[in-house]
Every structure is written in structure tokens, then in C-alpha cells.
A and B are shown apart, each in its own frame.
Chain A
């Protein structure tokens, strides 16, 4: 009995070795096998490992929200799946890591994730330490207020110094809204996550919550009838896919993947299935920035 088992095990090992060898041959041959990515590139590495590590948010309705299923769901997650699919990595081999706003650059620099898709606004400061593919979506900052509040109509409503607004520490929206405040110390509250801001809005400690429209429309959807968006968006926030600085080939690859998805409808489907449910305005397809 034992002998047969050992023989079987040896057989399996030999088989595995042969198979790996075959795989290697194919990619060396170039183009004809399972892997048709340039040798040594990030794409080849991920394709061979059949695994990709994705940083996303776990608390962002519509974009990346980890619910009872145990896996994050949303538009960002769908975009990550499109990239994984183009790399020929199966969906269940995507490893999700929670990346709140404050750690997104760090996890990329420390090589803890391969890409970050986490409502990540492209800006020059961040571009100095990491690279962005995309943008895959153009969001804009907006203001969430209680449904019966007519006193706030836009960012200018904060100029007289009485209305209080909440946002998240170390985020672009917090920096943006400061310009409109009469007195920062009396008007601005910052928390680590948006849910706390929404609680403060419910409790009446603040009059408004500000960040990108998509995030806010998620809260409008999850708290039926309690909140509404005040006024139009007042900034343009291009969302990009963060990746390690200097990996130009990988960036080009993701950009190509996105462009293909824009054209063949996979992008629109991803939107309609997730964040599009909360935001009925027409989806504008962004232009990829290849600079």
C-alpha cells in the first residue's frame, strides 16, 4: 500500500516538473503559448504566478465595500477584475488588501500589493512616488447634506463661517474644501473613515460631509431618504490605478486593457452593475493619460 503511494507521489512530482518545463518553453518561444508577455515584465510574473494582489477600499459603497460575502464588491473591484482577466489570472486568485486613503502609496512602495484601485485621485504629489494608469473614471467633489436642509447649496455656503463640514484626514477633498472655509478651526472636522462623518451628520454635529460624488451617492443609497447631494460637483478628480513607480510596461498594459474595456462594453457593464446603480447621470468615458 505504502509503496504504491510513494510511486504515485513521485509520478505526480515528475508530471508537475514536466508541465512547468513546458510552460517555460512556451513563453521563451514568444507568443505561441499561454504567456505572451515580454520576459521579465510584471505582466509575465503575474501571469505565471496566476495571482494578483489588489489594494482596494473595504468601506466604500459602490466602489469597494466588503459585505457579508467576505469579498469586496464595487466598481473598483470590477476594474481590478478586468485587469486580472487581461493577465489571465482567475477571479478567485485575486488577493484583496484593504488600503484606506492614508496607506495607498506605502503599500505600493513596500511591494505589498501589485495595483491599487481605491478611488485613487491622480495628482502630482502622488505621481512623484508612484505611477498611475488611467484615469478610468472622472469623479468630482460634492457635498452631502440632510435631505431637508436647503441652506447649503454648494461650497460657497461655507464661506460665512457658520456651517460645519466633515471629511477624511489626509485626503484631497479635505484640502480642497479648506479654501472655502471662513474659519478652519470652527468648521472642519476630520475622521479616519467617512462612516464616522456620516454618523456626525446624522447626530447633527456637522452640517455636511464632503468628498467625491460617487462616495457620497453611495451613502445616499445606503441611508434611504435621509441625505441628498447639495449642488453640483466643484472639482474634477480623475481616478487612476496606482502601481509601482517606473514600471512603464505594466502601466501601458493596464492603459491598453482599460481602452479595450471602454470600447467593448465591459467598462460600461462594470459601472452599471455597481456604482452606476446609485448614480444615474450619464457615464462619461475618460481619456487615458499616457504622458
Chain B
């Protein structure tokens, strides 16, 4: 384990970068997923078609390909994803604001891909809300938006929280791919670099990397268990 202590600064730096990446991508995925879920249940057929097409494409294309199109397709279209250079936010997440766009590309790829799964998790929650609820809401004259906002989504959210948690945990682990698409210094790749270039022993460092991921995923799992228990009481 000496190798982990010797390279603690590298692993800690990698942990921090991966944490930033997954935090921002989780927000992106939740926003995209919610919008697409609303599309998929909306009464407007073209919107439903868009929602279905989105899920079909992004749930079925390998993440590597999504990353590739994000990192090499967007530049070909002349975009450096500069819309993600959000003032204020780039003070906390310094990688957002720099000229090198690969951190932003990684957020886009992870958000788009995970968004499809978030959408389906939310939809499973919406399906769990008894149809009578939405019908009653419509009967008292609520619009589609009000119906969703005040009646359906608050209940759907509770049923969706556990599958959503699994989706986010999967995304945290998927984030390791970012290191192959120009993001320098994420957790798994900075550790791997110490093994191949630094000549450090592989097994202790790989264990160190695993622990880093566990620190991110295990508390999330515990939190979800808590929420699920509270929900059980509420019912």
C-alpha cells in the first residue's frame, strides 16, 4: 500500500477532477432526462416521437461512440462547447472555463448518454403513479404542465429515485472513459499513468483507484437506501 501513499497527491487530484466531472454530468443528465421524459408522455405526437428517437439512439449506441462524436464530431462542426463556460461556475470548476474543450466534451457525452437512462427511470416512476391521479387532475381543470408539476411528477419522483440512483452510479463508473478522450488527470487514468510511465506497482494503485470510486458511489447508495426507507414510512 506504500505506492498509494507515495502517489496520494496524484490520486487525490484525479479524484477531485472525476468528482467535478460526474457532478456536472449528473446535473446535465437529470435535466436532459426530465425534459425527454416529459416529451415522451406529452400529448403532442411530434414531441413524443422526438423523445422516443432520443432514447432509442442514446440508449443503444455504445458510450465510446458517443464520446467520440462529442470529442471529434463537435469540433468538426465548429463547436468548442463554449456554452458550458458558465460564468461563476467556472470559478469552482476551473476546467469548465479553459481553452481546452475536452472536459466540456466529456460532460456533454456523459450527459447525453445518461440522459436516456434517466428518462426511462423517470418514466417507470410516472407509470407507477395510478392513472386515476392524472385523470382526477385533468377533471379539476389542471393543464398538462400543472398536472405534471403538482400531481404526477412529485409522486413519480419517489418511485423513480432508486432506479435513478443506479443510473447515476453507473455514470460515475462510466466517467473513466473520459481519460481516453482528451481529459488529462481523471482518477483512473492518472493512476494508470503512474503505473505505466511512473513504473509503480499495478495492484496497489488499482486498489487505490477502486477505493476512490467507492468513496463516490457507496455514500450515494447509502443515501438512496435511506430515502427508500423514508418513502416506505410515508406510504
Contacts and interface: CB of A to CB of B under 8 A. Distances in A.
Contacts of B2: none
B72 A196 contact: yes
Interface residues of A, number: 26
Nearest to A188: B184
B7 interface: no
A200 interface: yes
B102 A205 contact: yes
B196 A102 contact: yes
Given A125-B199, A186-B100, A191 B184 contact: no
Interface string A148-191: 00000000000000101000011100110000000011111111
Given A191-B182, A203-B76, A169 B189 contact: yes
A125 B196 CA distance: 10
A185 B75 contact: no
A289 interface: no
A128 B95 CA distance: 37
Contacts of B150: none
Contacts of B182: 189-191, 196, 200, 205
A184 B75 contact: no
Nearest to B101: A205
Contact of A128 (B76, B94, B100, B199): B199
B6 interface: no
Interface string A188-203: 1111100010011001
B98 A186 contact: yes
Given A184-B184, A185-B95, A200 B75 contact: yes
A204 interface: yes
B100 A169 contact: no
B185 interface: yes
B135 interface: no
Contacts of A164: 99-100
Q: Provide the main secondary structure of the chain B interface.
A: helix
Nearest to B13: A185
B197 A189 contact: no
Interface residues of B, number: 23
Given A169-B189, A196-B72, A185 B196 contact: no
B80 interface: yes
B102 A189 contact: yes
Contact of A170 (B76, B100, B193): B193
B85 to A, nearest CB: 13
B43 to A, nearest CB: 42
Output the residue of A164, A170, A175, A203 with the most chain B CB within 10 A: A203
Output the residue of A162, A187, A191, A205 with the most chain B CB within 10 A: A205
Output the residue of A169, A174, A188 with the most chain B CB within 10 A: A169
B144 interface: no
Nearest to B181: A191
Given A186-B98, A188-B184, A189-B100, A170 B197 contact: yes
B180 A192 contact: yes
A204 B100 contact: no
Closest 7 pairs between A and B when the two form their complex, measured CB to CB: A203-B75, A170-B196, A186-B98, A189-B182, A125-B199, A170-B197, A188-B184
Interface of B: 72, 75-76, 80, 94-95, 98-102, 179-182, 184-185, 189, 192-193, 196-197, 199
22 contacts: A125-B199, A162-B99, A164-B99, A169-B179, A170-B197, A171-B197, A174-B197, A185-B94, A185-B95, A185-B184, A185-B185, A188-B184, A189-B102, A189-B182, A189-B184, A191-B181, A196-B72, A200-B75, A203-B72, A203-B76, A204-B75, A205-B182
